[in-house]
Copies of this chain bind each other. A is one copy, B any other.
Amino acid sequence: MALLVQKFGGSSVSDVDAIRRVAQRVAASRAAGDDVAVVVSAMGDTTDDLLDLAGQVSPNGPPERELDMLLTAGERISMALLAMAIQDLGTPARSFTGQQAGMRTDSSHGRARLLDVTPSRVAETLKRGEVAIVAGFQGVSEDEDITTLGRGGSDTTAVALAAALNADVCEIYTDVDGLYTADPRIVPTASRVTRITIEETLEMAAQGAKILHLRAVEYARRFGVPLHVRSSFSDQEGTWILVDRPLTGALHQDGTTRHTSDTTTTEDPMEDPLISGIAHDKSLAKITVVGVPDRPGAAAKVIGAVSTAGVSIDMIVQNVSTSPEGLSDISFTLPEADGTVAVAAVRELQHELGVADVLYTSHVGKLSLIGAGLRSNPAVAQRMFGALAEAGINIEMISTSEIRISVITDQDVLEEAVRAVHRAFRLDSDAEAVVYGGTGR
C-alpha cells in the first residue's frame, strides 16, 4: 500500500465525462489499496473564461487581489464535482480548498510563493480511508486573503502536498503520456523517455518544455519527491522522474514492486552521457550590450537594471574581452513580450556605463539538448553544431551547463533546427536511442 498524490490538469477535467473518467481512475487506485490524495485544476477553459469576464468589468486592468478571488472559483467547481463523482462510485471523498489543505503563502497575488504546507485535514481524511481532493493553484496568505501560485501552479500544489504528506510518488496526469525526446508536434517521430533525472527535467522545464512547471520540478528536487508524468487517457506507464540515484530504490522501500518499468533500468543513469531530449522555446528576444567596460560590476549593473524593471532574464552570455580597450559584449535573452521594457531599462544606463550601443533582436528561439554528462563529452557538442551547420542554421549564441547545451537561432528556423538535432542523435522512436559511449571517466 502506497500513498499517491495524483494531479489532474484542466484538460483531464474538461467536462462532465472527463470528470467521471478521472473519478473512475481515482476510485480504482483507492480500490487497489493505495491512499490517494488528488490535486485538481480548473475545468478546461474556466480560467480563460473568468479572465475574460475580469477584462470586461475592469477595462483598466483587474486588481490582483480580486483576480485571485475570482480565479480560485475555478478549482472550487472542479474539485467539488470530482468529489461528487467519486462518491457516486461508492468511494468516500472530500474536497479541500487551498486554505483548508494548509497551503499558506506570501501575499504576492497572482504569483504567491508557498511559505508553509500543513495538510493536517488531508492527512486525517486519508487516515479514514477516504480520498482527499485538494484545489490546485491556490493558497491563503498570512492576512487570510486568497492567493494563487500563478499559471501551472497546480503542479506546485501537487508536489508540495506530496512532500508534506511524504507520499511515495506524485503522479502528474496530462494529455500526453510522458516526456518526449522533443515536442511531438514538431518532431512526429519523437520517442517517450521512460526515466529521467530531476536535474535533466529541471533543465527541460527551464528551457521551455511545457509539460511540467519549472517551479514544481524545483520543489520536487528540493524535497525529494519522485514524479511520474503519465496520460490521463491510458493506463500505460509514462515518464518517471527520479530525484537522485539512491531514491530510485527508495520508491520501493516497502518491498512492493508495483511499477514494472522500475525493474527494467538497473544501470546508473549518470554512467554514460545519455541524451534525454530536446527542449525549445520560440518566444524569446535577445539584447546585446556592445562595448561594456571589462571591470567588476558592469554586468551586474546591466542585469540589475533589467531585473528592476520586472523582466526575468533567461540566458546570459559574456565572452572574454579580447579588444585592446578591454571592452566586451554582454548578451542575454528574455521573453519576447518584455523586450520593449528591457531595452528601455538598459538604454537608460547607456551613458552611465559608457557602453557603445544596445542592440535588440526580437523573434529569436532557443534549442536545448539535455542529457547527463554532456559537457564532459565534446563529441556531443560537435555533433549538435555539425547537424545545425548541415541544415544551414546559423547559431547566434551558445550556452552550456553540465547537462545542457543551448543555442539561440532565428525563430523561423527553430523547428527545423529541432528536427535536425533530433535526427542527428537518432532520437526518433523507430530508431534505437543513441547512448554516447563514455570516454573513460
Query: From residue A238, how far is it (CB to closest CB) to chain B in Å?
Result: 26
Give the contact stretch, choosing among A58-66, A189-197, A250-258, A347-355. Answer: A58-66
Which one, B66, B76, B85, contacts A73 given CB within 8 A?
B76
Instruction: Select A58's contact among B54, B56, B77, B87, beta carbons within 8 Å.
Output: B87
What's the Cα separation between A72 and B72 when bound, in Å? 11
- Shortest C-beta distance, A24 to chain B (Å), equals 12
Indicate if A211 sits at the interface (CB-CB under 8 A): no
- CB 8 Å contact bits of A1-43 with B (1 = contact, 0 = none): 0000000000000001001100100000000000000000000
Interface segment, one of A94-102, A214-222, A294-302, A370-378? A94-102
Would A58 and B88 count as touching, CB distance under 8 A? Answer: yes
Q: Is the CB of A57 within 8 A of B19?
A: yes
A57 near B84 with CB under 8 A, answer: yes
* Residues of chain B within 8 A of A23, CB atoms compared: 57
Tell me, yes or no, whether A330 is within 8 Å of chain B by CB: no
**Contact assessment for A144 and B100 in the assembled complex, using a CB-CB cutoff below 8 Å:** yes
Whether B69 pairs with A95 at a CB distance below 8 angstroms is yes
CB-based nearest B residue for A121: B144
The answer to whether B88 touches A81, judged by C-beta atoms less than 8 angstroms apart, is no
Task: From known contacts A76-B76, A97-B146, A144-B100, infer whether A57 and B70 are also in contact, taking CB-CB under 8 Å.
Answer: no
B57, B84, B121: the one contacting A54 at CB < 8 Å is B84
Q: CB-nearest residue of chain B relative to A63?
A: B87
Tell me if B69 and A85 are in contact (CB < 8 A).
no
Bound-complex Cα distance A59 to B89 (A): 10
Say if the beta carbon of A343 comes within 8 Å of chain B: no
Q: A66 and B87: CB pair below 8 A?
A: yes
A81 touches B97 (CB 8 A): no
Cα(A363)–Cα(B82), bound, Å: 39
Chain B residue numbers with a CB within 8 Å of A53 are: 16, 77, 81
Contact, CB under 8 Å: B58 / A84: yes
Question: How far in angstroms is the closest Cβ of chain B from A74?
Answer: 8
Asked if A398 is at the interface (CB within 8 A of a chain B CB), the reply is no
Question: Does chain B have a CB within 8 A of A393?
Answer: no
Across-interface contacts of A60 in B (CB, < 8 A): 88
Which size bracket describes the interface of A in this complex?
A: 35 or more
CA distance in complex: A77, B87 (Å):
26
CA distance A60 to B23 in the complex (A): 15
Q: Is A79 an interface residue (CB 8 A)?
A: yes
* Bound Cα distance from A394 to B59, whole angstroms: 60
- A334 at the A/B interface (Cβ < 8 Å)? no
Tell me if A88 and B19 are in contact (CB < 8 A).
no
> Is there an interface contact between A88 and B59, defined as CB atoms closer than 8 Å?
yes
A sample of 22 cross-chain residue pairs with beta-carbon separation below 8 angstroms, ordered by A number, consists of A19-B57, A50-B77, A53-B81, A57-B84, A58-B84, A58-B85, A58-B87, A58-B88, A60-B88, A62-B84, A63-B83, A63-B84, A63-B87, A66-B83, A66-B84, A66-B94, A69-B76, A69-B97, A70-B76, A70-B80, A72-B76, A97-B146
Q: Which 7 A-B pairs have the closest CB atoms?
A: A70-B80, A69-B80, A57-B85, A58-B84, A73-B73, A58-B88, A73-B76
* Chain A contact residues, CB within 8 Å of chain B: 16, 19-20, 23, 50, 53-54, 56-60, 62-63, 65-67, 69-70, 72-74, 76-77, 79-85, 87-88, 93-95, 97, 100, 121, 144-146
| Additional A-B contacts beyond A16-B57, A70-B80 (14; CB < 8 A) | A16-B53, A16-B56, A19-B57, A23-B57, A57-B81, A57-B85, A58-B84, A63-B87, A66-B94, A69-B79, A69-B95, A70-B77, A70-B81, A100-B145
